[in-house]
Structure 1
Amino acid sequence: MARKHLTPPDWSTAALRAMARGGVAAVSVNALAGELGATRGSFYWHFTDRDALLRAALEMWEQDNTTALISELGDVPDPRQRLTALFTTALGQEGITGLESAIVAHADHPAVAPVLRRVTERRIAYLTDLYTDLGLAPAPARRQAVTAYAAYLGWLELRRSACDIVPEVAATGTTATAALEHLITELARSALHQAESK
């Protein structure tokens, strides 16, 4: 039987899945080759070493979960609708469950640190712009952006580590949907209230 021709994105996706399961240490060329039904030679056809794979995987995560999402939201003219769409997408179903938490947990890793820093800066800047578009002055908009981003990270961490204790953060179900809608409403309401009371 012929082997499937693997591409760099195939390897990168497998690396991100491994990272979600076990952190950076779980990204092993041998393990990924076995998982993908490939040889080490196939890996080295695309990447010089494991660190090159880590960088490519993290850049794919950055592109798919930050750059592309921000670009898509550019088509939504109303800032309230943009904010709702952003939080609904970001806090809804994760592409790879546990990935965001795993990346944040390895914030000091040399391959993770620069990408995570860029992603965090870009996301907070985007949120700040969004809250400014809702009518907040720059300083309160920045504070609200940081608060919203902290809520996002906390939501994902609860989903990863305590979903059985806090079922409201589960990705599916009526309880999860109601809790997510409540969080989105509160994050928007807070900003709108501040803008109206200026």
Structure 2
Amino acid sequence: MSKKLIITEKPSVATDLARALGGFVRHEDYYENDHYVLASAIGHLLELACPEEYEVKRGKWSFAHLPVIPPHFALQPIAKTESRLKLLVRLINRKEIASLVNACDAGREGELIFNYIVQHAASRKPVERLWLQSMTPEAIREGFLRLRRGSDMQGLADAALCRSESDWLVGINGTRAMTAFNSKTGGFHLTTVGRVQTPTLALMVE
């Protein structure tokens, strides 16, 4: 019998969905009933990494190596949650899993968390989107009666990916440029720069 794999953004949401839908048996880190397998991420499980051929060792950052604009962005597991990523990949690849339900938070970040997991798993299984504005049991059950097509969220997915990659480009290039500038008289003076961090710090200083 085929089943759908539901992936939530955090464990507490998986627990809420299991209670609302009912009939689940809890295994160590996931739930299962006759129709669904239900598991969660723990926030972001993957992050963008500099492709190895474009990496410059810390301490050797200079303006000569800037800007860093790789031809592609590589994903790497976040070490502290790698075991959860492996669990999700294993569940995605189970033979009886016919499709996936993105039940991550309704927004760009939730879209990104789910899509990075699917990309890492190299899955081509069909995707549906659970879109909730309320976590009451009634709202959850109603949401599962009105699942959206994954393709309907393509614009949101593109926006999430664009923000992720632009954050990476600003952070990597800004941090390396400012570190190189502040280290030009010797030593290594790490100076971090970020799209959100830097203007927020400037507001505090002003």
Q: TM-score range by the shorter chain?
A: under 0.3
Structure number, greater radius of gyration:
2
TM-score by length of 1: 0.25
TM-score, scaled relative to structure 2: 0.25
Compare the two structures and name the one with the higher helix fraction: 1
Structure with the largest fraction of strand: 2
